[in-house]
Structure 1
């Protein structure tokens, strides 16, 4: 699994999530080092959008985002059509499928996804 936050002018590095993502890992490995600094660069009008995945809605995550002053979009369950990340996943899928030869392993796939798109 990979994770990335993006906006029109900002993008975090692609993060390779290995193993199960818990609320603590989401806070410590993704939000604190990647998402919150990017939101701060974007300015006070920045709003964070994630989905209703269990790690994203853990109490430790909610508390951290509130303490960090991060505004967050409330998100209805099962609303894939509204999420702009789906467009990015489609673009990544096209990139992977157009790569010949195909990635030989997970590490090669991750390296390929690091490139511009």
Structure 2
């Protein structure tokens, strides 16, 4: 067997080995799914939030503002104050911290952008459809790869969340 990214597993075999146990890959049909939001600033980990879909519903702009934004704002305020001490005369204006988000609809919604503007939080302007420029994507890929290698695999939502927290 050959591993190719965090979700690909290639089985190389001879035709006579079709059902040999060493040539079969396990199929996981009931792997728990959980939506996660996280942030980091340099080498510092920020808040980690597991979206409670049963209680909060789908992620909408209002849901983002109600559940995620307060944690982001607290993280932003802490590091903005921290870095302002070290970089008092920086070139970015009133703050050395700029927030980068992906193109999720809840991030691009008018009410979300208005809230960031109201709180004077700068957002990084960057091209659409360019996940390779977003450093959090590399972090998620690394976590997914580590979870795929974990033995035993997390079989419940709670076990999956605990495994993510431990990374």
Q: Which has the higher helix share?
A: 1
Q: TM-score, normalised by structure 1?
A: 0.91
Structure 2: which 5+ runs fail to align? 1-34, 81-94
Q: Does 1:41 align with 2:78?
A: yes
Matched, 1:101 2:135: no
Q: Is 1:51–1:75's contact at 8 Å kept on the other side of the alignment? A: no
1:13 Cα deviation from its structure 2 partner: 2.5
Inter-partner Cα distance in structure 2 for 1:14 and 1:76: 26
Tell me if 1:15 matches 2:49: yes
Runs of at least 4 residues off by over 3 Å: none
Larger radius of gyration: 2
**Structure (1/2) with the larger strand percentage:** 2
List alignment gaps of at least 5 residues for structure 1: none
Is contact 2:61–2:105 with CA below 8 Å preserved after alignment?
A: yes
Aligned length: 115
Query: What CA deviation, in whole Å up to 9, does each residue of 1:12-32 have, x standing for no partner?
Result: 221111331000110110112
CA contact (8 A) 2:47 2:72 kept: no
How many Å separate the matches in 1 of 2:37 and 2:162? Answer: 14
User: Which structure has the higher relative contact order (CA within 8 Å, separation 6+)?
Assistant: 2
TM-score (norm 2): 0.65
